Structure 1
């Protein structure tokens, strides 16, 4: 029994001496690893500050700037941690750590697929800038002013005063019309005249009426194109370009003014804008008078 206890104590002492020797040999590396971690910590602060300054020139959303700069800072600290572990000859721990991070990231990505897609779409939109706060856009069946661009969604205020929250994934993947990116816009106005009117005269009068529109561009290019023979009218389209200002969206005003001027000009020149005509036939053979049926109903 005494022999076994002495042997066990010797084994423990040898192990402790081995650990102390290893610690003594690794002490310089340990000190260097600590210095590396401290250095990369302060370096991450500097990189984060510089990244915020640089991204502020290209990205308007403070939330996205803060998130991206934080991610960059974490990557810098992670690089310092990897270097420190390698200095301590813990390369297997580095491999295990990276593998665990990859598996965790994959699991999180599958679990929060929609959230991740909205988040990534928001980041891409922040760099590409297809829209900005204050723009007039139309997407996913909604049209209005962009009030806010968040990490997850874009907020639109419609012209009726409704706030619509659309996930960034839908804004990024679907068709988007940004009316603020251009300062000219074409107005297409459909009009019909009766078959008895002179089309050359109609074309000239309609063009002169639209030329009075105060929103026309400096070129004052007005086109009148006849399109089809309708049921009760000959239909044509009036096309003209207007100056479009994001601060003063005047598309509806220009269209309304054109309708009023054309109607006024046609009335002054006895040009008829016909309304649809329907013939009601109450007989099997047709042509029967309505009063006969009314008498039968009264009887």
Structure 2
């Protein structure tokens, strides 16, 4: 049986390990320098982000835009440090390969993470357009609440029931946005019905007097009263009035106060808000009046059935 010689392979492996060891030893000063440079650029990136945030706060209150630019500055500084570190470690070929691969990787990630990319781009657009600010009360895609935060991926809305909803920026940009805080006011439309027997001019006068004297109602010259329709059991009217929003008492609070005030004023002036009722008219053509109709008795029922 032929003897297997391991001397040459072992020498080759040992020689390779020794060369790697020598290269590692010779690279220690460069690696130490690279570590120092890394720590320097890490501190520099954080400092640059903090300085930019402070300067930006003096010129704008747009938190989303501040977050966008501070993040870009941070990663730009760190990227510059990465290329310098690769140069110190004499990995110039890695730098070239990295630059060449950035485009390929970006293209692949664009296809693989289309939703993430769409949310990121939408976040940038929203940061520049600023349709809302932190603390604004908004309605987005059927979700109503207070904007608690926003970043390059989602907008955080806290509903009035206390739940946080994370709305992707792509959905925010693609749907109508209602911002209740921009105009600093909100209109309340209240529908009420009164009896057909009431004096409509008197009803209007009483309602307008109620709202002209109510605290929290603003722009009283823009208050509008209109009769809407002949309802099934009442004549229905609308009263439309403005309140401060969201700085005032609140939409639901003012609506409750308005309903109470109308009820008190109507009770004081003997104006009735009728229950839904239905009137049966037996005097129509071809029918009989109620007085002409005979109520069947037990005896009649037995006669009809032949008992």
TM-score, length of structure 2 as denominator length:
0.65
User: Structure 2: 5+ residue runs without aligned partners?
Assistant: 1-40, 88-92, 281-285, 302-307
Say which SS state the counterpart of residue 233 (structure 2) adopts: coil
User: Structure 1: 5+ residue runs without aligned partners?
Assistant: 1-40, 85-89
> Paired residue for 2:225?
224
- Compared with structure 1, are the counterparts of its residues 77 and 127 closer, same or farther at alpha carbon in structure 2 (3 Å cutoff)? farther
Q: Deviations over 1:229-259 (max 9, x none)?
A: 222221111011222244x452222111111
- Compared with structure 1, are the counterparts of its residues 48 and 187 closer, same or farther at alpha carbon in structure 2 (3 Å cutoff)? closer
- 1:152·1:167 contact (CA, 8 Å) conserved in 2? yes
- Alpha-carbon distance, 1:48 to partner: 6.2
- Alpha-carbon distance, 1:67 to partner: 1.9
For residues 192 and 267 of structure 1, the distance between their equivalents in structure 2, rounded to whole angstroms, comes to 14
For residues 241 and 48 of structure 1, the distance between their equivalents in structure 2, rounded to whole angstroms, comes to 44
> Paired residue for 2:63?
60
For residues 199 and 205 of structure 1, the distance between their equivalents in structure 2, rounded to whole angstroms, comes to 10
- Alpha-carbon distance, 1:215 to partner: 0.4
- Alpha-carbon distance, 1:53 to partner: 5.1
> Paired residue for 1:209?
210
Say which SS state the counterpart of residue 63 (structure 2) adopts: coil
For residues 197 and 155 of structure 1, the distance between their equivalents in structure 2, rounded to whole angstroms, comes to 50
Q: How does 1:235-250 map to 2 (within 5 A)?
A: 235-246=236-247, 248-250=248-250
Matched, 1:142 2:146: no
Matched, 1:185 2:186: yes
Q: Deviations over 1:141-167 (max 9, x none)?
A: 121112221332122111111222211
> Paired residue for 1:158?
159
Say which SS state the counterpart of residue 203 (structure 2) adopts: helix
- 1:48·1:73 contact (CA, 8 Å) conserved in 2? no
- 2:146·2:158 contact (CA, 8 Å) conserved in 1? yes
Q: How does 1:1-299 map to 2 (within 5 A)?
A: 52=53, 55-57=56-58, 58=60, 59-61=62-64, 63-73=67-77, 100-217=101-218, 219=220, 221-246=222-247, 248-278=248-278
Aligned CA RMSD, in angstroms, stands at 4.2
- 1:220·1:240 contact (CA, 8 Å) conserved in 2? no
Say which SS state the counterpart of residue 181 (structure 1) adopts: coil
For residues 134 and 249 of structure 1, the distance between their equivalents in structure 2, rounded to whole angstroms, comes to 16
> Paired residue for 2:30?
none
- Alpha-carbon distance, 1:125 to partner: 2.0
For residues 140 and 161 of structure 1, the distance between their equivalents in structure 2, rounded to whole angstroms, comes to 18
Size of the aligned set, in residue pairs, is 249
Moved more, 100-109 or 179-188: 100-109
> Paired residue for 2:9?
none
- 1:195·1:233 contact (CA, 8 Å) conserved in 2? yes
- Compared with structure 1, are the counterparts of its residues 174 and 286 closer, same or farther at alpha carbon in structure 2 (3 Å cutoff)? farther
- 2:148·2:156 contact (CA, 8 Å) conserved in 1? yes
- Compared with structure 1, are the counterparts of its residues 78 and 228 closer, same or farther at alpha carbon in structure 2 (3 Å cutoff)? farther
Say which SS state the counterpart of residue 213 (structure 1) adopts: coil
Q: Deviations over 1:45-66 (max 9, x none)?
A: 6976775555445441465343
For residues 213 and 112 of structure 1, the distance between their equivalents in structure 2, rounded to whole angstroms, comes to 55
For residues 53 and 209 of structure 1, the distance between their equivalents in structure 2, rounded to whole angstroms, comes to 50
Say which SS state the counterpart of residue 105 (structure 1) adopts: helix
- Compared with structure 1, are the counterparts of its residues 279 and 102 closer, same or farther at alpha carbon in structure 2 (3 Å cutoff)? farther
For residues 73 and 151 of structure 1, the distance between their equivalents in structure 2, rounded to whole angstroms, comes to 19
- 2:232·2:278 contact (CA, 8 Å) conserved in 1? no
Say which SS state the counterpart of residue 193 (structure 2) adopts: strand
